[in-house]
Amino acid sequence: MKILIAEHAGFCFGVKRAIEIAYEELGKGKKTKLYTLGEIIHNPQVVKDLAKRGVEVLEEKDLYKLSKGDRLIIRSHGISKKLYNFLEQKGVEVIDVTCPFVKKVQNIVEEYYKKGYDIVIVGDKNHPEVIGVNGWCDDKAYIVNSVEEAENLPFFERLCAVSQTTLIEKHWEEILQVLRRKAKEFVYFNTICDATQKRQEAADALSKKVDVMFVIGGKHSSNTQKLRKICEKNCKNTYHIESADEIMEEMIKEHEVIGITAGASTPDYVIDEVINKIKSIKGEG
């Protein structure tokens, strides 16, 4: 039996940084309450561990509960400009771990919106990152996630397009072809982040070589779901799992080459647990 790990897998730079800063903040031993806006990463184990240490998850609709001096961690997905202003007015101490790659998208959108461009965000309109980015152009962006949606856009004088950082490159390229025809003056920024691209390429390459492919990551994590989709195309025995507990003997018993990749919110120890579980089922642990 052979276990192969994708060349790029697990925590990306932005998530690693966010978690480190969160734990650093806990280590300061401050008395004021610490919150995160939404779950800091799409990983139930990490969220549970933070909860045990007194970190509470707040949804946006509950932000009114915050008092002056409370501390709030803004996760790597970022937030809208409006929300920063609201938190400032409330006197909340903001610990901002917005990923620099997401910050870059927000800055582009703000800059071109101010210059008078209409904005198109290519991505999932329900994803917190996209919702946050839209908040840098007064929530006026057109958000499209398919060629069809792009076709249905009106014709613009001046248009600026950006991408959700976790988009699949090919998907962006296809939609871009349509957007090019939709404006007199068109500027675009491929803001897909390197980490995503590298994970996707590595997952694609590995899933072509294996009998079974495990994609580890939160079931709601969009970057993990995208990895699953890529792997499924190459390997029919692809399983999206959150932890080693989900691996059943029948998934691997007939197979010799087992591949593993992991979404950007998956800590290394979860990957190690999966490796150990596979080895123990195969009697090699």
Binding site for ligand SF4 (CB under 6 A): 12-15, 76, 99, 101-102, 165-166, 193, 195-196, 264
Question: Nearest distance from residue 42's CB to ligand SF4, in Å?
Answer: 11
Question: Nearest distance from residue 19's CB to ligand SF4, in Å?
Answer: 11
CB 36 within 8 A of CB 69: no
Cα 30 from chain centroid? 29
Q: Pick the catalytic residue from 24, 25, 111, 129.
A: 129
129 included as an active-site residue: yes
Question: Nearest distance from residue 174's CB to ligand SF4, in Å?
Answer: 21
Question: Nearest distance from residue 205's CB to ligand SF4, in Å?
Answer: 19
Helix (H) or strand (E) holding 52: helix 44-52
Task: Please give the biggest Cα pair distance in the chain.
Answer: 65
Nearer to ligand SF4, 132 or 259 (CB): 132
Nearer to ligand SF4, 42 or 277 (CB): 42
Nearer to ligand SF4, 223 or 237 (CB): 223
Q: How many angstroms separate the CA atoms of 68 and 79, rounded?
A: 19
Length of the chain: 285
Name the token pair of 44.
Answer: 């139930």
Which residue minimizes CB distance to ligand SF4?
14
Q: How many CA atoms lie within 13 A of 168 on its CB side?
A: 18
Nearer to ligand SF4, 77 or 182 (CB): 77
Q: How many angstroms separate the CA atoms of 61 and 37, rounded?
A: 10
Catalytic residue numbers read 129
